[in-house]
Structure 1
Amino acid sequence: MYEVIGSPTSRAIRVLWMLEELGQPYKLHPEQPQTELVKSHNPSGKIPILIEGAEKITDSTAILTYLADKHGALTAPKGTVARAHQDSLTQQILDEVEAGLWTASRHNFILPEARRVPEIKETLIWEYNRGINNVMARRKGPYLMGEEITIPDIILTHCATWARFEGFSTDNAELVPYIKHTRARAAFQRLLPKKG
């Protein structure tokens, strides 16, 4: 059984979603960054961490890629042109969409207060929208790569949710219906808190 260390409100949600899609059992240790448990498995104090036996894998994208390759799902096969396009799209999302969100979070609540530059947010929102438009222009079907969900869909859906939390708006008409479609998946729905 896999173990996942990380808060479901962080990038760890990507790993949990992947495991749900794959139908793999896992145990979640809901930890915030920099706790003693996290540092004992990853000296940087960052989450998520996937534990499989004696092995520990860090970085959400590395974990997603490992799980997809191992289980032969949610990815194009290694060594194919389709995989190269998928990896290109994944890297584009990380560079053009996620990077600005991470910078916004750092300047919002992570960095020491004296190091924060709140005025940067306007530029980051502009960059986010440019990145969203670039990524959505590459979409090939109901999912980014076509008819099947793949790694970049999980990352982009998480980023779009994160953007709403950060107060980023977008004028991309395709994004909201796309996110509703990806979040409607049964595997994602299983991760949502149950309402009383």
Structure 2
Amino acid sequence: MYKLLGSKKSRAFRVLWALEEMGLEYEHIGAAARSDEVRAYNASGKVPVLLVGDHVLTDSVAIIQFLADKHGKLTFPAGSIERARQDGLTQFACDEMDGTLWTAARNSFILPEERRVPAIKDTLKWEYARSMKTLVDRLGDNTYLMGDTFTVADIIATHSGTWARNAGFACDEQSVSDYIDRVIARPAYIRAQAL
């Protein structure tokens, strides 16, 4: 059984959701980032942390892809063209969506006040909106980013999309909004939210 540390109001939610999608057994400890409990496994204090036997895994994308590969779910086989496309979409979500939102969060409440650059948020919102136009092209008429197959990329993109909504980052692209609404209606997402 896996043991996951991290509040569901963090990137640990991505791992919770993936575990629910895959129907895997796990224990969830809602430890806060930078808590002593988390630092015992990850010196940076960042969450999520997944304990796999005696091994400690960190970083949500790495954890989810490990689980997907290990259990043969939510992913295409390594070395396939489909996997390369999936990985490209995952990287797009990390770089263009999550990265933009993380920079905004850091400049809103994470960095010491004297280090924050609040004016950057307007540029980040512009950058996010531009990325949504790219996502429209990459999504096309598909149900999910990889067509009819729900993958790791959908978890990262949708988590980032819901984060954007909560952070006031507008998405004027109807197909992207519809995609996010469709994905958050999945039973595993709803179960993870209810934890």
Which blocks of at least 5 consecutive residues in structure 2 are unaligned?
Answer: none
Matched, 1:160 2:161: yes
Alignment partner of 1:135 is 2:152: no
Structure 2 equivalent of residue 92 of structure 1: 92
CA shift for structure 1 position 56: 0.7
Residue 40 (structure 1) aligns with: 40
Determine helix, strand or coil for the equivalent of 1:51: strand
User: Are 1:182 and 2:183 counterparts?
Assistant: yes
Tell me which stretches of 4 or more aligned residues in structure 1 moved more than 6 Å: none
* Equivalent residue number for residue 101 of structure 2: 101
- How many residues align structurally? 194
Kept in 2, the 8 Å contact 1:5–1:47? The answer is yes
Kindly indicate whether the alpha-carbon contact (under 8 Å) linking 2:171 and 2:177 is maintained by their aligned counterparts in 1: no
Does structure 2 retain, via aligned residues, the 8 Å contact 1:108–1:116? yes
Q: For the residues of structure 2 that align with 1:80 and 1:164, how far apart are their CA atoms?
A: 33
Retained in 1: the 8 A contact 2:135–2:176?
no
Shift of residue 176, structure 1, vs aligned partner = 1.4
Q: How far apart, in 1, do the equivalents of 2:28 and 2:145 lie?
A: 28
Residue-by-residue CA offset, 1:71-110 (whole Å, 9 max, x unaligned): 0010011110000111111111111111110000101110
The amino acid that maps onto 2:35 is T
Residue aligned with 1:56, SS: strand
Aligned residue number for residue 194 of structure 2? 193
- Give 1:192 deviation, angstroms: 2.3
Secondary structure class of the residue paired with 1:63: helix
Shift of 1:131: 1.4
Distance in structure 2 (CA, Å) of the matches to 1:112 and 1:123: 20
C-alpha root-mean-square deviation of aligned residues, in Å? Answer: 1.1
In 2, distance between residues paired with 1:88 and 1:191? 26
Question: Structure 2 counterpart of 1:185, which letter?
Answer: R
Q: Structure 1: 5+ residue runs without aligned partners?
A: none
Amino acid at match of 1:167: G
Residues in 2 aligned to 1:32 and 1:164: alpha-carbon distance in whole angstroms: 23
Residues 2, 50 of structure 1: 8 Å contact kept: yes
Provide the secondary structure at the position in 2 that maps to 1:156: helix
Output the CA distance in 2 between the equivalents of 1:104 and 1:77: 34
Q: Normalising by the residue count of structure 1, what TM-score does the alignment of the two structures yield?
A: 0.96
Question: Is contact 2:17-2:192 (8 Å) kept?
Answer: yes
